Structure 1
Amino acid sequence: MPALRLLLAALASLAATVALAQTRVTIATVNNGDMIIMQRLSKEFEKAHPDIKLDWVVLEENVLRERVTTDIATRGGQFDVMTIGTYETPIWGKKGWLVRLDEDLPPAYDVADVLKPIREGLSSEGKLYALPFYGESSFTFYRKDLFQKAGVTMPEKPTYDDIAKFAKATNDPKAGVYGICLRGKPGWGENMAYVDTLVNTFGGRWFDEKWKPQLDSPEWHQAITFYVDLMKKYGPPGASSNGHNENRALFATGKCAMWIDATVAAGYLANPSESKVASQVAFAPAPIAKTPNGAQWLWAWALGIPASSKHVKEAKAFIQWATSKEYVQLVAKSDGWTAVPPGTRQSTYDSPEYKKAAPFADLTLKAILAADPAHPTAQPVPYTGVQYVAIPEFQSLGTQVGQQIASALVGKEPVDQALKSSQMMAERTMRRAGYLK
């Protein structure tokens, strides 16, 4: 018996030693569907890496951005892996806030397989500072059955005049169906991600070549007036509370005839286990008003490592796993091909299984490759970025303007006043930051 007790004590001590040897990697991510799948499947990573324990902090988009921005700017060290995008990554990488990730990637990772626009969007001066989890552009989702019932047909290249006509024809509030669902929740990456593309295609821009704000221009007035009128007439109630996830849920439950938003939602909406309208959803390019420049955005949700992390080696191992070809295969096996992270790897779009399962694949790839952050507007501009302006000040300014647009949407103030206030905010911001004298 004493020998048995000694053996049990030794085993307990060994188990405690193993537990203590585990490195805890804290991951901040957004509560989008693809990231929820990543969190669930991460147990497979932990099985293969018993020395690493993953701790998850899953947040709503606006909250995530606020938390990770504060943490990285103050070198707080709260997170080892951050979910960031094509806006933050080049800016933070250039500042030295992120760990460079392309220096020691294993050959099997095949970084050349990552789509060039996505790879470039996560780089600064040719150095890669985040690896893409999924990439996206934007296009138009619509209901074939509701269009057929209304006697209208979606053209190959819709215009915003078409969208207004179709929204009117399919709007049926008594049946709980609205002609159009669009983002209204304030935030530079929420309502403004969509609104910026609308302004672009109406011929507008944030700044002229000398960084003078242009938010009270005729083009902004036309675009925002169109948006507010369209949503008031044919949008769902409470639209100012709806971001990407809320609109996706509305469309999936049959409440929207159309939705213009991120291509990444296509897999969810085409999945019968997630979407009540999977058999009726169809896809078209993002609409154009006056110019095709900037009508569709380019974005990637990616995984980066803050320079303040004390567990860089372990964080790299997780990021490489979560953004690999093998992870795509794992999702396909567990959740089906429509659920795999889109928009990052050419090999995904070359897969016969993916093409067969995803009728939206070719249109998504075409939209991503066509988006041009270097020429986001018809008029010349000093910035890059389609649905954002790639300067540090935009995170705050974009959200402030988003609040003004949301205010106009709910009728708290007229469009003219919302844009006048936005112009004043922009001028003040740019003057303080030294862009204007």
Structure 2
Amino acid sequence: MRSARLGGLVAALLASTIAARADNATLTIATVNNGDMIVMQKLSPQFEKETGIKLNWVVLEENVLRQRLTTDIATKGGQFDVMTIGAYEAPIWAKQGWLLPLDDLGDGYDYKDLIPQVKEATTVDGKMYAAPFYAESSFTYYRKDLFDKAGITMPEKPTYAQIAEYADKVSDKKNGIYGICLRGKPGWGENMAFLSTAVNAFGGEWFNMKWEPQLTTQPWKSAIDWYLDVMKKDGPPGPTANGFNENQALFANGKCGMWIDATSGAGRIYDPKQSQVADKTAFTASPVTDKDPKASGWFWSWNLAVPASTKQGDAAKKFIAWATSKTYVGLVGKSEGWVAAPPGTRLSTYSNADYQKAAPFAATVLKAIETTDPKHPTVDPVPYTGVQFVAIPEFQAIGTNVGQDISAALAGQDSAEAALKKGQSTTERTMKQAGYPK
């Protein structure tokens, strides 16, 4: 009996020591410079006050963040305690043993409230390795005032041909309004996020069932020709510098007639404190073609993960449990307005009457996320999963190289045909070196 009591006392002492260590920790958090993460940083002093844990923030542009995190985690550098990673990295890094599992975030976390498709994207062998912070599909934003002025009615599922026609009709470059804004900044998660979905819609794919690259096939040519034509004719100047954040700012400032991009941008576009066109914007599905009449939106999530190299796993998990909780969503709603609440992760957000009232896009976004199918992303069968990316480790380099080639064509430094031939060649070489087919 005495021995059992002593054991219980030692266990309690050990638990309190670990808790004290966690509460005195300083965490280094690496995140992307998107609006939702900026809000997280802004509200984090409340977490510090509640827990005694100090936070050191490293906020980076998307391409730079990916490079830094990939290098650090692959070399076990240990620079970061919490990482913001995507639906692409989470399962790949988990299988490498680079991430700590997050199935122990506490009784109040409510895992069942997470949207199933979003949780599944960060789950390997039944364990969640990254907690969803926000998730998205993509859709078409458009200026209803400009469409009314031009006598155009946007259909529920516009085609790529219609989008090009509408861009020309609403473009008013003399007054600083461009018919369409699309990502031009090179990167597998920047311009290639949009372009991969366009290729899917035109009936193409990155690889056939033999893992042979398909960049010189007709669907790729059609998709890239469409993109270059519409951007050069009706897009903004300097498009190769524009990624998600830059195009979001252009649209919010009334410079774009249309913008095809992440549904997560809707919170800012519909917030009158951040957008000049909050009352002038409407939305519809991502464009389609006759080849693929389904809405060709993507699926993505930004998630918080703990690298296995950290020495402060308990404190890191405590922060993640706070930042991805229902309580945090409510905190954002109250402090920033419900339209700014992190989208796409929790069912309770979409059943919340305050959010539904503030976010007219809520039901459309939820439907887009729930109906996008990363397991069947293309018209023809493919050996990979992922809608706007290919879920293999080699894709990060492949997508970025191809993105740079197409960005060069957008800048007028190369033709579409030459860009795709270069992309085909480098992709073939990378896949051969990686030993595909496996």
TM-score normalised per structure 2: 0.94
2:157 match: 157
Q: Is the 8 A contact 2:23 2:51 kept in 1?
A: no
Q: Is the 8 A contact 1:293 1:375 kept in 2?
A: no
Correspondences of 1:24-423 after superposition (within 5 Å): 24-50=26-52, 52-102=53-103, 104-289=104-289, 290-292=291-293, 295-423=296-424
- Deviation of 1:408 (Å): 1.1
* Structure 1: gaps spanning 5 or more residues: 1-17
Q: Is the 8 A contact 2:287 2:295 kept in 1?
A: no
Structure 1 segments, 4+ long, off by >4 Å, are 18-21
Partner-residue secondary structure (3-state), 2:393: coil
Deviations 1:398-432 (A, max 9, x none): 00000011011111111111001100011000000
Q: Is the 8 A contact 1:79 1:309 kept in 2?
A: yes
Deviations 1:316-348 (A, max 9, x none): 000000000000000011000000000000000
For 1:272 and 1:261, locate their aligned partners in 2 and report how far apart those are by CA, in whole Å: 20
1:8 match: none
Q: Is the 8 A contact 1:129 1:304 kept in 2?
A: yes
For this pair of structures, how many residues does the alignment match? 418
- Deviation of 1:108 (Å): 1.5
For 1:294 and 1:76, locate their aligned partners in 2 and report how far apart those are by CA, in whole Å: 41
Aligned-partner residue type, residue 347 of structure 1: S
Deviations 1:25-78 (A, max 9, x none): 00000000000000010011011101x101000000000000000000000000
Aligned-partner residue type, residue 297 of structure 1: W
For 2:166 and 2:23, locate their aligned partners in 1 and report how far apart those are by CA, in whole Å: 60
Aligned-partner residue type, residue 23 of structure 1: A
For 1:211 and 1:200, locate their aligned partners in 2 and report how far apart those are by CA, in whole Å: 16
Partner-residue secondary structure (3-state), 1:383: coil
Q: 2:24 aligns with which of 5, 22, 25?
A: 22
- Deviation of 1:156 (Å): 1.3
Equivalent pairs: percent with the same residue?
A: 61
* Structure 2: gaps spanning 5 or more residues: 1-19
- Deviation of 1:293 (Å): 5.5
Q: Is the 8 A contact 2:23 2:315 kept in 1?
A: no
Q: Is the 8 A contact 1:183 1:243 kept in 2?
A: yes
Deviations 1:245-288 (A, max 9, x none): 00000000000000000000001000000000111011101110
For 1:298 and 1:154, locate their aligned partners in 2 and report how far apart those are by CA, in whole Å: 23
For 2:32 and 2:281, locate their aligned partners in 1 and report how far apart those are by CA, in whole Å: 25
Aligned-partner residue type, residue 394 of structure 1: F
Deviations 1:180-235 (A, max 9, x none): 00000000000000000000000000000010000100110000000000100100
Q: Is the 8 A contact 2:105 2:318 kept in 1?
A: no
- Deviation of 1:22 (Å): 2.4
Partner-residue secondary structure (3-state), 2:259: strand
- Distance 1:229-1:126 versus aligned 2 partners, 3 A rule: same
Partner-residue secondary structure (3-state), 1:231: helix
TM-score normalised per structure 1: 0.94
Q: Is the 8 A contact 2:208 2:383 kept in 1?
A: yes
- Deviation of 1:105 (Å): 2.8
RMSD: 1.4
- Deviation of 1:127 (Å): 1.7
